[in-house]
């Protein structure tokens, strides 16, 4: 697999104002415009892509940033179809956003079982500055992540904390899954070929 290009579809889901767009902006463009540009709701979905290299393998991440408003729910379902990874965002300073994150995870479990979930707590810089601002308990989220077999990251789009690590983990997991599928397929092919070869040799007299 070394040297081959892999395209990986990633979808971001979560409540409005949960920091999804800022997360993508920081990862793809290395910038944070939250303090400069007034917030604008995403309508439908926005797309961006970035290539990263894991080991010697380039991975192109195609990232769909979906609208968080409930009126766009049906549209968001269109964008998460076929996604290999979902970053489900919640605002660490907004307890209701974690409830919304659970809603989207339930959606994925029902409709996209093969999509791996990554829980992402956003706006960690706010919590670091003022611990009393935290409304989503860390232990609650980690227990939930264990329950649904998800990875969890607490990030800051303002400082960039844990954002590169999040996307690198997504790419690493995907490559590991592809390698596992390749090994499994190879083993299955060997099992299928074995009896045929034995049958063929037994019917050929010496």
CATH 3.40.50.300 corresponds to the domain 6-202: yes
pTM of the model: 0.83
Sign of the dihedral through C-alpha 133, 96, 137, 126: negative
Please tell me the total number of residues recorded for the chain in this structure.
206
pLDDT of residue 85: 97
pLDDT at 199: 47
For each of the chain's 206 residues, which pLDDT tens digit applies? 445 566 899 999 999 899 999 999 999 999 997 655 444 555 457 899 999 999 999 999 999 998 755 555 566 678 788 999 999 999 999 999 999 999 999 999 999 989 999 999 999 999 999 999 999 999 999 999 999 999 999 999 999 999 999 999 999 999 999 999 888 877 666 555 555 444 444 444 44
Spatial contact of 94 and 129, defined as CB atoms under 8 Å apart = no
Q: Does an H or E element contain 26, and which?
A: helix 20-29
Beta bridge partners of 49: 62
Do the beta carbons of residue 48 and residue 180 sit within 8 Å? no
- Say what the pLDDT of residue 78 is: 80
Question: What is the CA 65 to chain-centroid distance, rounded?
Answer: 11
Task: Give residue 109's pLDDT.
Answer: 93
pLDDT of the residue at 38: 46
The residue ranges of every structural domain in the chain are 6-202
């Amino acid at each position: 697999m070394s040297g081959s290009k892999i395209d990986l579809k990633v979808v971001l889901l979560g409540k409005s104002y949960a920091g999804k767009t800022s997360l993508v902006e920081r990862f793809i463009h290395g910038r944070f415009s939250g303090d400069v540009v007034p917030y604008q709701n995403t309508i439908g979905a926005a797309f961006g892509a970035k290539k990263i290299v894991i080991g010697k393998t380039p991975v192109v991440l195609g990232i769909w940033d979906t609208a968080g408003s409930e009126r766009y729910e049906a549209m968001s379902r269109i964008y998460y179809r076929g996604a290999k990874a979902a970053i489900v965002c919640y605002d660490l300073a907004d307890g209701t956003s974690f409830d919304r994150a659970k809603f989207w995870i339930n959606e994925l479990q029902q409709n996209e079982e093969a999509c791996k979930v990554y829980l992402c707590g956003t706006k960690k810089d706010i919590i670091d500055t003022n611990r009393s601002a935290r409304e989503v308990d860390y232990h609650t989220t980690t227990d939930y992540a264990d329950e649904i077999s998800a990875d969890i990251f607490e990030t800051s789009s303002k400082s960039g904390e844990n954002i590169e690590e999040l996307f690198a983990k997504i790419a690493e997991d995907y490559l590991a899954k592809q390698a596992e599928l390749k090994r499994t397929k190879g083993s299955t092919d060997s099992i299928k070929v074995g009896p045929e070869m034995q049958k063929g040799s037994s019917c050929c007299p010496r």
